[in-house]
Amino acid sequence: MKLKELLAKGYGNTMDLNCAEKMVYGANWAYDLKLAPESLKLSAGFGGGMGVESVCGALTGAIMVLSHLYVKQNSHESTRIKELESEFINAFQKELGFSDCKNLKATYRNDEVKCNPIIFKAAEILDTIVEREGL
């Protein structure tokens, strides 16, 4: 199952996950990453733009997933992760207009849909990259 489909079905809502957690926990399930529960907690502090409406948590969560999938030991081993990060961020900004939580929330968030339009778009972009690059 694709991450976007999983999230659109409500994954993470009953667990009260933030946007970064939804990306990482959801990707763990959708892509069968086999991340330990302790590892999943690393995404907690990135929701809400790291709690200060800075870089979007859905974006940072997606970068965590790309790192897990496409880095063997560290980022300096090749240019691959930088290329994938750049692709993701450029697509995210092109589709949504911003990468910061503050502007994204002002444009897309309301009490009914919460940040779902942002999270779903991030998941769609991540699905596209993962589908092309493989697991």
Question: In the chain, what percentage of residues exceed pLDDT 70?
Answer: 100
Is this structure's pTM higher than 0.95? yes
pLDDT digits (tens, 9 = 90+) for 78-116: 999 999 999 999 999 999 999 999 999 999 999 999 999
For residue 1, what pLDDT band results from cuts at 50, 70 and 90?
A: confident
The H-assigned helical ranges of the chain are 3-8, 19-30, 37-40, 47-48, 57-70, 80-96, 101-108, 116-133
Residues in the chain: 135
Closest CA to 113 of 1, 25, 5, 8: 8
Contact 57, 101 (CB under 8 A): yes
Average of per-residue pLDDT values in the chain: 97
pLDDT at position 54 over 90: yes
pLDDT digits (tens, 9 = 90+) for 56-69: 999 999 999 999 99
Q: What is the rounded radius of gyration, in angstroms, for the C-alpha atoms of the chain?
A: 14
Q: For 114, which DSSP code?
A: B
